[in-house]
Structure 1
Amino acid sequence: MTLSALLFAAGMAAAATPVTHYRTADVDGVSIFYREAGPADAPVVLLLHGFPTSSHMFRNLIPALADRYHVIAPDYPGFGESAAPDHKQFAYTFAHYADLMDGLVAKLGVQQYALYLMDYGAPVGYRLAIKHPERVTALVIQNGNAYEEGLKKFWDPIKAYWADGSDAHREALSFLVKPETTKFQYTDGVSDVTRIDPDNWGHDQPLLDRPGNKDIQLDLFLDYGTNVPLYPTFQEFFRERQPPALIVWGKNDTIFPADGAYPYKRDLPKVEFHLLDTGHFALEDKADEMVPLIHDFLDRNLAPKGGP
């Protein structure tokens, strides 16, 4: 092959690889960082991350979906590259997060979206869904809870904090922002830890260690309790709207075990259900299984642009 042919082939390969853009938007006076990729006129997939990470958790999924979908992955305030205002001047609540994500998609001109929901992304996304049920085109659910059956022993000290909001119970949750816990969330329940990139906790932990961030996280642990009374409303949304739904859930997750995955079948009888032999951050070691499932699900339930 000639040099010009090699250069042409390399250029074609590069052109076929979706480009991810790293952007910020001012939403109600707050700087929100988001990753964006894919055709501007394609169906939107909104990726909502969990604790203690950010849109960084979707760094590998974004280009895999952006061949045919307009992918948007924001960071919540206090996470990733978004602003982190002092917790005494800013409401770190899931209701506020949902409002800010709603403001972001409005600013971007998005009218409808499929939701990828993981961990904290579940209550943020479901709050969006009950505000605008007509906008939700599909659900991809990965270790994201909407049923009390999913709140097992791990949640006991957090429930104690919900009960009284005391300083003692608040401080008892400090272990949740420590390095060993951050690493645990990536490695627990994983059979082959050589598949887990240590850059994950190397990325997340310095952000957790920023001055004031511990209080942000402790505020959110307390406010997570406000999601539980909304579970029946989330479930009503499932029953009434019957959005196409895919569950790709790490069944060995200590935080959101598979106990929380099964109840979705009660309200979404057509849900496509896959339990994977991994833990909390399933995309980190099971992307080779998950990405084909997710792409196929979206291809069958949305109307993609481009591609074959």
Structure 2
Amino acid sequence: MMRVTEKELNGHTFTVREWGVEGLPKMLLLHGFPEYGGAWNDLALLLSDRFHCIAPDQRGYGASYAPQEVEAYAMEALVGDMAALIGSEPVIVVGHDWGSAVAYGLAMFRPDLVSHLIVANGVHPIVFQRAIAAGGAQSEASQYINKLRNPKSDAVLEADGFSRLMDMFSSHMDTSWLTGDVLEAQKAAWRKSGLRGMINWYRASPLAVADPGVPIDLPDMPLERFMVYCPHLLIWGEGDTALLPEANAGLEEFVPDLTRVSIPDGDHWVLHQHPKRVAGLIRDWLG
């Protein structure tokens, strides 16, 4: 049974959904663009007998704190929100899409708060930056990032009942799961927050996207800052057309304890397409 509460995190109000009982191992579920905490419901129900699942509407989403300023969405602030939600004891962190960026941020910069890291179709920041700077297929697939950074993109995507956002959501991927009550709840979350906050995640990000065929030279970075030392499970829907295989190529350089599992008939929305399979993978991996 899902419970919805409001929590004060660093002086701001966030909506948080929970499944499972207090006392079970805590599992923090971090959604991506353009979803919200309730998008975890199918998976959380399959895990809540064993885990206390916690899924916030992250900053800019749903009913949570949604400042208008781009600078309010720096990764330090996004990670700080979730560090405040976790508290002082380490938890299992699960991320998808942009939620994976926050999950990796917690594992890299607040390793004391992450016992295990699970990512589904999400990317490590350095590995992804290398891929989108190379000018190849991932750079081409990521051109939508530059389009979203346009100051007018939120107004365009909100028009006509979010029709263009829906087109983007489903571009070349299976969204047959996004119907009925699920779709109405998602649209209600968009109406509540508007799109500016969630798109500000893209505007605030320092990621540089190369034009196809025009690679970008990247500055030297202290790679040791971006290491993930906790056990890490990467679940990958192979049909993802937004994040290609090269988006996580070489992840082992940053993750000594990495387990990769592919789902051939899944894509970017693998959590919705195959919740039972994903839940089984998580249970088996955690032991």
Query: Do they fold alike, i.e. is TM over 0.5?
Result: yes
Q: Aligned-pair distance for 1:199?
A: 4.0
Retained in 1: the 8 A contact 2:71–2:204? no
**1:160/1:197 Cα in 2 relative to 1: closer, same or farther (>3 Å)?**
closer
In the alignment, what sits opposite 1:158? 145
Q: Deviations over 1:228-249 (max 9, x none)?
A: 99996587422xx2x2221212
Q: Give the fraction of aligned pairs with identical amino acids, expressed as a percent.
A: 23
Q: Deviations over 1:226-273 (max 9, x none)?
A: 5999996587422xx2x2221212222222223223432344355222
Structure 1 unmatched ranges of 5 or more = 1-18, 163-168, 301-308
2:166 to 172, 182, 202: 182
1:274 matched to 2:261: yes
Retained in 1: the 8 A contact 2:227–2:255? no
Q: Deviations over 1:54-101 (max 9, x none)?
A: 11121011121111112111111221232334x149813332121111
How many equivalent residue pairs? Answer: 265
In the alignment, what sits opposite 1:144? 122
Which stretch has the larger CA shift, 223-232 or 68-77? 223-232
**1:33/1:112 Cα in 2 relative to 1: closer, same or farther (>3 Å)?**
same
CA–CA distance in structure 1, aligned partners of residues 4 and 239 of structure 2: 33
In the alignment, what sits opposite 1:292? 280
Which stretch has the larger CA shift, 21-30 or 254-263? 254-263
Letter in 2 for 1:71: C
**1:157/1:272 Cα in 2 relative to 1: closer, same or farther (>3 Å)?**
closer
Q: Secondary structure of the equivalent of 2:18? A: strand
Retained in 2: the 8 A contact 1:113–1:136? yes
Retained in 2: the 8 A contact 1:49–1:121? yes
In the alignment, what sits opposite 2:233? 246
Q: Aligned-pair distance for 1:157?
A: 4.9
Scaled by the length of structure 1, the TM-score of the pair is 0.74
Q: Aligned-pair distance for 1:111?
A: 0.4
CA–CA distance in structure 2, aligned partners of residues 160 and 187 of structure 1: 15
Letter in 1 for 2:41: R
| Residue pairs, 1:223-234, within 5 angstroms | 223-225=204-206, 233=223
CA–CA distance in structure 2, aligned partners of residues 89 and 187 of structure 1: 26
- Over aligned residues, Cα RMSD in angstroms? 3.1
Letter in 2 for 1:179: S
Q: Aligned-pair distance for 1:38?
A: 2.3
1:91 matched to 2:91: no
**1:248/1:293 Cα in 2 relative to 1: closer, same or farther (>3 Å)?**
same
Q: Secondary structure of the equivalent of 2:122? A: coil
| Residue pairs, 1:23-62, within 5 angstroms | 23-62=5-44
Scaled by the length of structure 2, the TM-score of the pair is 0.78
Structure 2 unmatched ranges of 5 or more = 133-137, 210-218
CA–CA distance in structure 2, aligned partners of residues 184 and 158 of structure 1: 12
Q: Aligned-pair distance for 1:150?
A: 4.9
CA–CA distance in structure 2, aligned partners of residues 297 and 224 of structure 1: 32
Letter in 1 for 2:173: G
Q: Deviations over 1:117-139 (max 9, x none)?
A: 11111221222223321332111
Q: Aligned-pair distance for 1:220?
A: 1.9
Q: Deviations over 1:176-235 (max 9, x none)?
A: 664343354257333xx544445444333343345x833323422111225999996587
Letter in 1 for 2:14: I
Retained in 1: the 8 A contact 2:20–2:48? yes
